Structure 1
Amino acid sequence: MPDVSEDPRVEPGIYGKGEAEKMLWLASAYAQGAEVLVNSMLDDQYQADHAQWLVVSHLCRHALELYLKGCIGIATGAIPRSTHRIDQLLKDYNKHYCDSFYIFNFLVEDWVYRDTDLFPETLEELRRTHDQRYRYISDKNGIDFVGFSDFNLREKSDAVKRFASDVNVRAFFVGEYGVKAAVILKKSEA
């Protein structure tokens, strides 16, 4: 097996890191993958349809899930393996990462993690199946997912690029400095 430790295509510094740090690295890769796909679609003047946007959405959503799990794993020493629910992961994430540095546009619908609906309990089914909504056409019972909105690739491309950048920067700093990343970053800027 070849030694890839010197290969520039492999993320430097990933060797010897723990699983939570590797999750952050993979989260960044998923987010960058979404950006590459969107850029490619724009460069080729691709006539995007809803199915391709689902792929981009899945990459972004999975990037966010891995990012949250990696951050929680670094803060607590235990990666939350039993859930894919963004709402639950964000509640745990916010307990450990409350500085403004850690807050950014998560590129998922607000209803996934905010109880702003008049009847938040009505969102439970949507939240419970959110991890499946971009991977499959229907739920395990064959019922189509509803609630997808129209999209404009050019409008969404900036949001995807910003999301990829935000995940990449935060994943790096949290992977290197843990929950104190924001404090260390602010000291270095002073």
Structure 2
Amino acid sequence: MRWHIGPPPEDDGFDPGPPWRRLREPRRIAISIALSLPLGLLAGLAFLMLGTALAPQERTVFVVSFSARMLPFVAYVLALVTVHEFLHAVTFPGSLRSPHVVLGIWPRALVFYAHYSGELSRERVLLALICPFTVISLGSLLLSVIDPARQGLWLLTGTFNALASSMDLFGFLLVAAQVPRRARVRNQGYVTYWKPA
């Protein structure tokens, strides 16, 4: 595993020519982010509604104010984003020990990411994309039922993670809709390619 600042690194040894095919996805990261936001908002709203329906006797109110007291919240968000990206990374072949795993931050796009610089099966890509949403958001939902005293924290965690999963959900839908089963997938920077099995 290695760290990277900037867009996901490109592999100079990868030739995206045939038999590779480019996934039909927006060519600019800003457009991908904009198109994914409704998915994140929908997932966050659905999570919040489901979470409050499971414990209707509990009413949680979130108040956010900007002051020095925001520092714990900022630390909480950064920790959650870190766990989210590590969950992507552990689903890749070789997990965190693999030299193909890259964890990065792209400041210009305001994006944290986990990237794999080799070939993956379609199923592995789908698993990597959905893993943080499933583990953190659905896990938080379960914890809000098991631990009602901290329901507000668990609902905040799950809702924020669902919102932050917007690009993952968008990518999941694109790959699931366009890439046939048993195909191979890989990224060249933030551009996705696939080839038939």
1 or 2, which has the higher strand percentage?
2
> Normalising by structure 1, what TM-score?
0.28
> Normalising by structure 2, what TM-score?
0.27
